[in-house]
């Protein structure tokens, strides 16, 4: 009967030969998930034998990971900003750098403020749900072009008991009319697709082959959504409302320029833990009256 240590050694060797980064860690994390324990607990259970079901499940998980399926899709969930989120192939896997976006927003407002927030491109719902959990008087409307993504986000909303404060709408920010929301929101936030069309081909296989392409690339220059959202935010935001973007590496100055061209003021840039410019934010400015 296969024991824990033997299973880890064999699986790590297999994953390493397949070219999987951090092969040993992946092997340990997948087994810990099956055994419902912490990864470090495995070191106290090296001689524990695996039963037939555990062995079969582990072999399936390792085979899938060897085919570059992301760990998060295999186990079906991920932790983001201290919260659990269900994920599958219909949604982008929440990244640690996006936590900087959450921190930046909640750092701007007291918890008791009754904010109306608009999230564009919800995916798994990690951004609106994290904001609602940390700004308990807020209400969030969140849109996504993918109904399959919204289905996942709704599962996460139910998981965190936020049905009364977080709403999801199937909508395309590039084409849909949103006039009914004019002058409605205190905050607009988006982590839009920002990978250039040509750059997408160079991304790691886990992203190219498994994560939804429409959540990664804008099929253009990487800035298309920033232009459209900045433009529409001027009418959607209340006076002195704020717009917050997550941006890709080396995009911050371009996004800052786009926001400035759309009359945003007090534009700030925050770095992530890797010292990469990651969040760009600004305050809605006055649009001068034009004679027609």
- pLDDT tens-digit profile of 126-138? 999 999 999 999 9
Exposed e or buried b for every residue in 213-247, given b needs 16+ CB within 10 A? eebbbbeeebbbbbbbbbebbbebbeeebbbbbbb
At residue 236 the predicted structure's pLDDT band, cuts being 50, 70 and 90, is: very high
Which run of H or E residues covers position 77? strand 77-80
Q: pLDDT per residue over 202-230, tens digit each?
A: 999 999 999 999 999 999 999 999 999 99
Q: pLDDT per residue over 153-179, tens digit each?
A: 999 999 999 999 999 999 999 999 899
Question: Could you report how far apart the first and last alpha carbons of the chain are, in Å?
Answer: 82
41-60 mean pLDDT: 96
Q: What does pLDDT average to over the chain?
A: 96
Spell out the domains of the chain, with CATH numbers in brackets. 4-67 (1.10.8), 76-284 (3.40.50.150)
3-class secondary structure, 142: strand
Exposed e or buried b for every residue in 7-45, given b needs 16+ CB within 10 A? bbeebbebbbeeebeebeebbbbbbbbbbeeeeeebeee
- The label of the residue with tokens 């927030």 reads 117
Q: pLDDT per residue over 172-185, tens digit each?
A: 999 998 999 999 99
Q: What is the DSSP letter of 143?
A: E
pLDDT of the residue at 15:
98
Q: Output Rg (C-alpha) for the chain, integer angstroms.
A: 21
d(CA 182, CA 178): 7
10-38 mean pLDDT: 97
Strand-pairing partners, residue 83, are: 80
At residue 291 the predicted structure's pLDDT band, cuts being 50, 70 and 90, is: very low
At residue 288 the predicted structure's pLDDT band, cuts being 50, 70 and 90, is: low
Chain-centroid distance, C-alpha 124: 7
d(CA 18, CA 12): 10
DSSP codes of every residue in 246-260: E--TT-HHHHHHHHH
Other CB atoms closer than 10 Å to residue 82's CB: what's the count? 9
What contacts 10, CB < 8 A, 6 or more positions away?
A: none
254-266 mean pLDDT: 97
pLDDT of the residue at 292:
33
> 94: phi > 0 → left, psi -120 to 50 → alpha, else beta; which?
beta
What is the pTM for the complete model shown?
Answer: 0.94
pLDDT of the residue at 286:
76
pLDDT of the residue at 170:
98
17-33 mean pLDDT: 97
pLDDT of the residue at 223:
97
d(CA 259, CA 244): 10
| Residue 51 CA: distances (Å) to CA of 7, 19, 34, 54, 247 | 12, 28, 11, 5, 46
- The label of the residue with tokens 């770095």 reads 271
């Amino acid at each position: 009967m296969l024991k824990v240590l033997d299973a880890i050694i064999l699986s790590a060797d297999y994953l390493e030969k397949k070219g999987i980064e951090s092969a040993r860690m992946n092997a340990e994390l997948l087994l810990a998930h099956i055994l419902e324990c912490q990864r470090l607990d495995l070191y106290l259970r090296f001689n524990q034998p695996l039963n037939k079901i555990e062995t079969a499940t582990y072999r399936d998980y390792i085979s899938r990971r060897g085919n570059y399926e992301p760990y998060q899709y295999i186990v079906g969930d991920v932790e983001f900003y201290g919260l659990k989120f269900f994920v599958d192939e219909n949604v982008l896997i929440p990244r640690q750098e996006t936590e900087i976006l959450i921190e930046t927003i909640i750092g701007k407002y007291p918890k008791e403020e009754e904010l109306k927030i608009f999230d564009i491109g919800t995916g798994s719902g990690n951004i609106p749900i994290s904001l609602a959990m940390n700004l308990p008087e807020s209400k969030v409307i969140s849109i996504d072009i993918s109904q399959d993504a919204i289905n996942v986000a709704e599962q996460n909303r139910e998981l965190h008991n936020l049905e009364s404060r977080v709403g999801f709408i199937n909508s395309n920010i590039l084409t849909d009319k949103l006039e009914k929301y004019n002058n409605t929101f205190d905050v607009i936030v988006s982590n839009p697709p920002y990978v250039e069309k040509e750059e997408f081909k160079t991304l790691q296989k886990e992203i190219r082959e498994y994560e939804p392409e429409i959540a990664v690339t804008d099929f253009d220059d990487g800035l298309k959504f920033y232009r459209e959202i900045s433009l529409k935010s001027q009418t959607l935001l209340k006076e002195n409302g704020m717009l917050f973007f997550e941006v890709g590496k080396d995009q911050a100055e371009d996004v800052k320029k786009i926001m400035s061209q759309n009359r945003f003021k007090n534009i700030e840039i925050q770095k992530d833990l890797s010292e990469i410019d990651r969040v760009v934010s600004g305050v809605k400015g006055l649009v001068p009256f034009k004679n027609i």
